[in-house]
Amino acid sequence: MFVIAGSLKAQDKIVKCIMSKKYDPSTNLVVWPDEFNPEKAKWYIYKEIEINAKPEVVWNILIDAKKWHTFYDGVQSPVEFLDPNATTLRNGLAFKMHTMGLRLEPVMKEFVPNERMAWEVRRGNLSAYHAWVIVPTANGCRLITPEAQNGFLTFLQKVFQPNKLLKLHDKWLRLIKERAEGRTPK
C-alpha cells in the first residue's frame, strides 16, 4: 500500500496532489469495465493534481496526443493514430504509443469532452485501462488519472518496478499542469 497526499512547493506555488496504489471506492469517478474494476484488478494506481486552468484547456492538451512526446518523456516516440484522418483523440480511435519500453495499441473506450476519457490496452500478457477525469474547481480543475492492470507483465512490474508507473503519471500530470497554466510553450 502506498499513499501520498499533501502539498508540495513547486516554483513558488503550492501544488496539491494525491498519489496512491490503494483503491478508494468512495472517491471513484471512473466508469470501470468489470474486468478492470480496481477491487479485482492485479494492479492499480491513482494520481491527481490541481490545475489553475479551465477544464477545456486541460482537455485540449490531453486529446492532442501527437504532441505528448514533445513534453513528456514517458511517451518515447510520436503517437500514431490508426485512422489517418484523425487529428486528436476521439471515441473508438485506436492509436500506437511507445511507453515504458513497450509498444502499445490502445483503443479509446470512453470519451466525454472536457470531462473524461479512457483507453484500453491489450498486449500479450498485459491488459490495462487508463482513465483521465477532469473535475471543475473554483480555481480551475482537478486532473485525475487512475489505471488498472491485469496479466503477467503486471506481476513483473509490481515486483521489479513497483513505483515506476506511479512516478511517470506524477511527472505527466505536473507537465500537463505547467502547460495548462502557461508556464511552458504549447
**Residue 16, CB-side half-sphere exposure with 13 Å CA sphere:** 10
> What's the rounded Cα separation, in Å, for the pair 117 and 22?
21
| Distance (Å, whole) CA 99 – CA 65 | 13
Among the residue ranges 10-24, 29-43, 168-182, the one predicted with the least confidence is: 10-24
Q: Where are the domains of the chain?
A: 3-141+156-180
- Confidence (pLDDT) at 46: 93
pLDDT, tens only, 31-90 = 999 999 999 999 898 999 999 999 999 999 999 999 999 999 999 999 999 999 999 999
SS3 146: coil
pLDDT score at 26: 85
User: Tell me, which fold does domain 3-141+156-180 have in CATH?
Assistant: Alpha-D-Glucose-1,6-Bisphosphate; Chain A, domain 4 (3.30.530)
More confident residue, 115 or 153: 115
Taking the C-alpha atoms of residue 5 and residue 49, their distance in angstroms, rounded to an integer, is: 10
pLDDT tens for each residue of 101-110: 889 999 999 9
Instruction: Please report the pLDDT score of residue 21 as a whole number.
Output: 83
Inform me whether the pLDDT recorded for 15 exceeds 80.
no
DSSP 8-state symbol, 93: -
pLDDT for the residue 116:
97
Mean of the per-residue pLDDT values of the chain: 87
Return the pLDDT at 161: 64
pTM to 2 decimal places: 0.87
Please give the average per-residue pLDDT across 137-160, as a whole number.
Answer: 85
Q: So what's the pLDDT on residue 18?
A: 80
How many angstroms separate the CA atoms of 1 and 45, rounded? Answer: 10
